[in-house]
Structure 1
């Protein structure tokens, strides 16, 4: 079906952007809502590092999660990043995590599991007023997540 397409339209190419490590408090459970079970994880810190930017995650972010009836958990996250040279970058992402019920139960219990055992993907976007990081306002990124006991870790890639 794609034989007649130019090569640039046949595959998605990416390059590493950063690794993001978040420190999160225990989830606050709002409970069952019309959309599903709502819970919120407050982000109180973390770090990020990549070839083109690195720094810390500032206190005050939040991960609004919805556990759906099909067992998948959707994420709606907003963070503030501060680069090593003092630039502020807003980061937001939506995501989804799902997998076999026994694996998800282990994750929910705080156990670190092999990231290959479940699906955990995000779609981050960024915004900044810092001219030296202006390029980040105009990219699309994807992330692959992994949940550890103290918070998630994401490998984030710029889509080329």
Structure 2
């Protein structure tokens, strides 16, 4: 019996990456300020509020670890804190962001958590979710799924 899941929403972030460079620990650090975006799904939709961020570390083996925090606002005005960690694996010779036709050459996955006090969305606090990522010209995009 395999896992069951259902789509939660698609999300597109607009962000401005800044390359910090090689830090003393020997890793490459990149920090992106989230300036906005939007999300659309059957059960919720709205916008990404400015102020979140994406703290990426590229390890010695080339794998990138993501640490992202974002604040979402639904069309009804509810606030949802979204956090995720994950891995981005690209071929060694690929530049970032990768070209739009990179497709299956990327492994771009995340484990997503939500927090909200909104009584209609409180169910988000208890789900397990994951995201499949890609790049666009404005920033990263994800398809977010609820694991059932």
Measured against the shorter chain, the TM-score band is over 0.9
CA contact (8 A) 2:97 2:135 kept: no
Larger radius of gyration: 1
CA contact (8 A) 1:111 1:149 kept: no
Q: How does 1:77-116 map to 2 (within 5 A)?
A: 77-102=68-93, 104-105=94-95, 108-109=96-97, 111-116=99-104
State how 1:11-30 maps to structure 2 within 5 Å: 11-30=2-21
Give the Å deviation of 1:58: 0.1
Task: Give TM-score scaled by structure 2 length.
Answer: 0.94
More helix by share: 1
Matched, 1:148 2:136: yes
1:17–1:51 CA contact under 8 A, matched in 2? yes
Aligned partner of residue 136 in structure 1, secondary structure: helix
1:27 to partner: Cα distance: 2.3
Which consecutive unaligned segments of at least 5 residues does structure 1 have?
Answer: 1-9
Residue 23 of structure 1 contacts residue 43 of structure 1 at CA under 8 Å; is this kept in 2?
Answer: yes
User: 1:109 and 1:134, CA in 2 relative to 1: closer, same or farther beyond 3 A?
Assistant: closer
1:110–1:116 Cα change, 3 Å: closer
> Does the aligned pair in 2 maintain the 1:45–1:59 contact within 8 Å?
yes
Gaps of 5+ in 2: none
- Note closer, same or farther for the CA distance 1:109–1:143 as it changes in structure 2 (3 Å cut): closer
Measured after TM superposition, the shift of residue 117 of structure 1 is 1.5
Change (3 A) 1:33 1:158: farther
Separation in 1, partners of 2:102, 2:3: 25
Asked whether 1:59 is paired with 2:50, we answer yes
Q: Residues 35 and 84 from structure 1, CA distance in 2 versus in 1: closer, same or farther, beyond 3 angstroms? A: farther
1:128 maps to what in 2? 116
Number of residue pairs matched by the alignment: 148
- Is contact 2:86-2:111 (8 Å) kept? yes
